[in-house]
């Protein structure tokens, strides 16, 4: 899933004059971006004239790798089908499309959660190799799921947290919400456990950063300024990772200068030290259908955490770097199972929310 990047470049380092000239070339402002993101994340409209469009709008607010939004939606006589959009693969970081199918599962869960509020009962069926997720909808009495309120507010908050730990009962609520058959969610809250995961994150990050293809793929999905992010409607918006707004003509260059192993190691060391815990998601088997289940479990985890004011962010390097994944699985005592997602959690202020493409770009009518 989305990996945070660090190409910190302060106004002081730029100099006031140069900083102002750089920002002048960025087109749309941060306020324009905030307004666009807020519009995308407006509350669910239970009285919408087209319930299918409204349900898809909510579905696409799900977490997804690199914010590539690798999904398509089709109306059916019975409801909505979700299909993978292979044109939005990230073949370097996700060569077997694991994250892609996790993303589809997260979108499906958003839709399943929102449907009762739209007076629709829903049921999910998964086609062979998860090539099609079919969600049947049937008109029923409206029944609001509390998690609906968290859908527009959920975000991966890729920053240093404040070190506070959720109460034990809150952790139990989050774990219960994430309970999906075939998916184990392990919450690690002891400092020794968090530090051990940190070491795997740092090693996985080192492996990835020494791969030029990985670095280029990541760079391709970064949106360095509001204008680029709004125009694309996808990708990793730099300020969502706490980085400065930069025009496109210099953003990639500054990224290349500042995105170093040492800088990333320092960043992840600080972020992991500030986190209250780590959640590790593991499916019963390494198949697309099971990865869909992981996505559903993740989305429920994230929404319940959001309701409780708990932030989270992916630190998936230990499951993305193959040689590190094997060691990480052994460390966790998983046998031949594959760890699927690694997520740190804690408390922090919101960062700018990510963009989404319009429903018209993903829904076939």
pLDDT tens track for 46-85: 999 999 999 999 999 999 999 999 999 999 999 999 999 9
pLDDT tens digits for range 186-210: 999 999 999 999 999 999 999 999 9
**239 or 189: which leads in pLDDT:** 189
Give the CATH number of domain 1-358.
3.40.109.10
305: part of which helix (H) or strand (E)?
helix 288-307
| Distance in angstroms (rounded) separating the CA atoms of residues 150 and 102 | 19
User: What's the pLDDT band for 20 if we cut at 50, 70, 90?
Assistant: very low
pLDDT at residue 26 greater than cutoff 70: no
The two structure tokens encoding residue 195: 């530090």
- Measured torsion, CA atoms of residues 172, 175, 180, 181, in degrees rounded to the nearest 10: -70
| Distance in angstroms (rounded) separating the CA atoms of residues 154 and 136 | 25
| Distance in angstroms (rounded) separating the CA atoms of residues 75 and 305 | 31
pLDDT at residue 13 greater than cutoff 50: no
| Distance in angstroms (rounded) separating the CA atoms of residues 89 and 187 | 29
Domains in the chain: boundaries? 1-358
| Distance in angstroms (rounded) separating the CA atoms of residues 193 and 276 | 11
CA distances from 194 to 67, 245, 277 (A): 26, 32, 6
Please state the φ and ψ torsions of residue 5, each to the nearest 5 degrees.
-125, 155
């Amino acid at each position: 899933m989305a990996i945070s990047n660090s190409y910190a470049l302060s106004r002081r380092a730029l100099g006031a004059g140069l900083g102002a000239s750089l920002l002048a070339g960025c087109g749309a402002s941060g306020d324009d971006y905030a307004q666009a993101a807020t519009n995308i994340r407006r509350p669910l409209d239970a009285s919408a004239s087209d319930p299918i469009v409204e349900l898809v709008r909510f579905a696409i607010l799900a977490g997804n790798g690199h914010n590539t939004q690798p999904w398509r939606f089709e109306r059916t006589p019975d409801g909505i089908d979700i299909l993978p959009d292979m044109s939005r693969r990230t073949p370097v970081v996700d060569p077997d499309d694991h994250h892609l199918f996790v993303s589809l599962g997260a979108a499906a869960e958003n839709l399943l959660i929102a449907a009762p509020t739209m007076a629709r009962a829903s049921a999910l069926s998964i086609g062979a190799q998860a090539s099609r997720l079919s969600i049947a909808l049937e008109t029923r009495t409206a029944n609001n799921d509390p998690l609906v309120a968290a859908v527009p507010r959920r975000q991966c908050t890729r920053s240093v947290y404040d070190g506070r730990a959720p109460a034990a009962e809150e952790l139990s609520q989050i774990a219960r919400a994430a309970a999906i058959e075939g998916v184990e969610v392990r919450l690690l809250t002891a400092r020794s456990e968090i530090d051990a995961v940190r070491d795997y994150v740092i090693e996985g990050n080192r492996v990835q950063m020494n791969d030029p293809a990985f670095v280029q793929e990541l760079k391709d999905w970064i949106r360095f300024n509001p204008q680029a992010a709004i125009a694309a409607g996808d990708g990793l918006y730099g300020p969502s990772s706490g980085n400065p707004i930069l025009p496109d003509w210099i953003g990639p260059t500054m990224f290349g200068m500042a995105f170093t192993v040492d800088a990333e190691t320092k960043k992840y060391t600080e972020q992991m030290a500030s986190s209250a815990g780590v959640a590790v998601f593991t499916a019963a088997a390494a198949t697309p259908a099971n990865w869909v289940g992981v996505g559903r479990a993740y989305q429920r985890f994230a929404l319940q955490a959001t309701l409780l004011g708990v932030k989270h962010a992916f630190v998936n390097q230990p499951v993305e770097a193959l040689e590190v994944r094997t060691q990480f699985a052994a460390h966790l005592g998983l046998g031949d199972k594959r760890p699927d997602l690694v997520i740190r959690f804690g408390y922090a202020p919101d960062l700018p929310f990510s963009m989404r493409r319009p429903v018209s770009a993903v829904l076939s009518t």
